[in-house]
Amino acid sequence: MVAAALYMLLGRTGVNMTDKKLTSEEEQVILHKGTELPFSGKYYSFNENGTYVCKRCGTALFLSSAKFDSGCGWPSFDAELPGAVKHRVDADGLRTEISCASCGAHLGHVFIGEGFTAQNTRHCVNSISMNFVPADEKKTETAVFASGCFWGTQYFLQQAQGVLTTTVGFAGGPTANPTYEEVSSGASGHAEAVQVVFDPDQISYEELAKLFFETHDFTEVDRQGPDIGSQYRSEIFYKNEEQRQTAEKLSGILNAKGFKVATRLSRAGPFWPSEDYHQNYYQKSGSLPYCHVYRKIF
């Protein structure tokens, strides 16, 4: 799983830094869409744990866990933080430019299908467009939810502001290192689940749990839509007493509203990540969930 990382609050809390004075070199890249020389940027061979943020406004862009060495001469990332980066066809009509979604600062370009990592994506970013914020272990928490096909669960959870990373996998059964085929057979005892690393300064566990309930049918037992079996059950795997109490409170509210909540509450045990081809499925396929839909309940 990824190293814990700190979200830079500037740019996420209404603080505008777009009037920050840039050097002439920074202006050339950030404002005029230039490119720094390959192998010259300070973050090319930089491997500390933390968060890369926009030089111009401070918005968090990439986690250090997404950084890899592509050998191209510029920092490379195979994933961006949800909603942080804007994509558009470059002026040359051939490449896809990436820019800060908050202030429009030019970052670089993104390339798909090169096969460097399982994400099959390379964000090629100018070091001069970014600053780095070291990781702060106290700034992140972890939650684990199961609500049917983990593709759909991940799709909604990863879009919430304050969610740093999501990983699809398996939880709740005795089988160690299960494969997708073992879980699909129903014999492993595991549920398809999603592990979420989030910044509690940006989003609370209760807000995540509400989103969990509002994006699946929590009244169904051992199924979700057309997917049938115990591996598709609704279950919250709480990490501590506070999470358990929050889950119980929300379940009580739903029962009081007339719903018959079937969601199980279990203490979290080992979480086993699924195979790479299942990670970020809907981001890679460009399609939409077939058995998850958002509905406002709380």
Q: Which of 134, 155, 177 is the last residue of a domain?
A: 134
Question: Do 63 and 116 lie in a common domain?
Answer: yes
Q: Using CA atoms, how far apart are residues 76 and 38, in angstroms rounded to an integer? A: 12
Is residue 104, in this structure, part of any structural domain at all?
yes
Is residue 6, in this structure, part of any structural domain at all?
no
Inter-residue contact 254 to 187 (CB < 8 Å): no
Active-site annotation, residues? 124, 149
> What value does the mean pLDDT of the chain take?
89
Is residue 201, in this structure, part of any structural domain at all?
yes
What tens digit of pLDDT does each residue of 35-79 get? 999 999 999 999 999 999 899 887 889 999 999 999 999 999 999
Is residue 4, in this structure, part of any structural domain at all?
no
Pairing mode of beta strands 272-273, 163-171: antiparallel
Q: Compare 123 and 85 and report the one with higher pLDDT.
A: 123
Q: Using CA atoms, how far apart are residues 129 and 57, in angstroms rounded to an integer? A: 10
- Size (the chain), residues: 298
Pairing mode of beta strands 234-238, 130-134: unpaired
How high is the pLDDT of residue 20? 57
Q: Write down the H helix ranges in the chain.
A: 24-30, 150-157, 180-184, 205-214, 241-256, 281-285
What tens digit of pLDDT does each residue of 190-237 get? 999 999 988 898 899 999 999 999 999 999 999 999 999 999 999 999
pLDDT beyond 80 at 5: no
Per-position DSSP letters for 103-158, written without gaps between them: T--EEEEEEES--SSTT-EEEEE-GGGEEEEE--GGG-EEEEEEESSHHHHHHHHT
Range ranked top by mean pLDDT from 86-90, 101-105, 259-263? 259-263
Who's near 217: CB < 8 A, 6+ residues apart? 224, 225, 234
Containing domain of residue 42, as a range?
24-134
**Into how many domains does the chain fold?**
2
Question: Do 178 and 110 lie in a common domain?
Answer: no
